[in-house]
Structure 1
Amino acid sequence: KLDKTEEMHIQALQGFEEALRPKHTLTLTTVNNLAVLYADQGKLGEAERMYMRALQGYKEALGPNHTLTLNTVNNLGLLYANQGKRSEAEKMYMWALQGRKEVLGLKHTLTLNIINNL
């Protein structure tokens, strides 16, 4: 049985997909949020699948260095790190670090958070 939070996220996702299309940024943000929920619930395969969907959509819609893209890249890195997949985590963190350095600069707190994750 789905818990109430998961059910609400899925309903929101279905609504955004119908109203705005699957690749709209609000839909993708809901996909990313559902991935966070799945990760918190220990549903790691589902979390990864949703993060990858959000990442692909953000890259296509906004580019590889947009804040929303990089947030999802970082989230995917955290998921991999928590699974002990160091190589995959490092790849995601390096992507996020490079993008955040270019967009926000080295001293921004979001950039520093990535350095901390590494």
Structure 2
Amino acid sequence: MDASESQVVVSSSSRGRDADIVSWQALSEEAYKAFEKKRYVQAEERFQDALKLAEGLTTAKQAAKAASPEDRQDFERLTKSLNNLAALYHLQGKYEMAEAMYDRCLDLKLDLYGDDHLEVAVNLHNLAALQCAKLRWEKAEILYTRALEIREKHLGNEHADLMPILKNYAIMLRKIKRDDEAQAMEERKSRIESLVAAAK
């Protein structure tokens, strides 16, 4: 096979990958729209189809060894698809299915980014909320604490992105009658809200 024949093969493969990426994006967008309209059966079907495409793009690859930008982007699509399905299952009360998806997503993010990355904090926060739904307070607190630590490290102690964790953590603390700690979280969230508003 000469160089021109080799180039044709590479280009064909590239076109196939590009088509899958376009399809993944289209399916994800359809799923988001269905989700917003509370058409959960349709949303699940589209999210599952998008997940299959994302899995196909990462076949025979390892997230921990994803060195090229293309490989990393493929795994990032996979984490988004897993998270989307997890969020849908979470909303529907399908907690075991949601947890399996969140866990798989977290494992991939740990391989891609390490254990101290903002993307990891997103997943920890989601898992914490799920553990609260399952009344697993101790697990939830560990996850909230770690998610908060990561965001504080990267964003500082007064960033707006701390507020969702502080809000949900405080709600959990109220539920388990740790009202003084909850109030401290609520007051901290209010201070950050005031700072953010003043900066606009």
TM-score, structure 2 normalization: 0.55
- What do residues 9-61 of structure 1 show as CA deviations (whole Å, max 9, x unaligned)? 00000001102347411101110111000001111000000000000110110
The CA RMSD over aligned residues, in Å, is 1.5
1:90-109 correspondence to structure 2 within 5 Å: 90-109=141-160
* Aligned-partner Cα distance in 1 for 2:141–2:159: 20
Higher relative contact order (CA 8 A, sep 6+): 1
Counterpart residue number, 2:45: 7
TM-score, structure 1 normalization: 0.92
* Aligned-partner Cα distance in 1 for 2:118–2:127: 14
Task: In structure 1, list runs of 5 or more residues that go unmatched.
Answer: none
Task: Give SS of 1:45's match.
Answer: helix
* Aligned-partner Cα distance in 1 for 2:122–2:41: 25
Superposed structure 1 runs of 4+ greater than 3 Å apart:
20-23
Task: In structure 2, list runs of 5 or more residues that go unmatched.
Answer: 1-39, 64-74, 170-200
Percent identity, please. Answer: 31
* Aligned-partner Cα distance in 2 for 1:88–1:113: 18
1:1-118 correspondence to structure 2 within 5 Å: 3-21=41-59, 23=63, 24-118=75-169
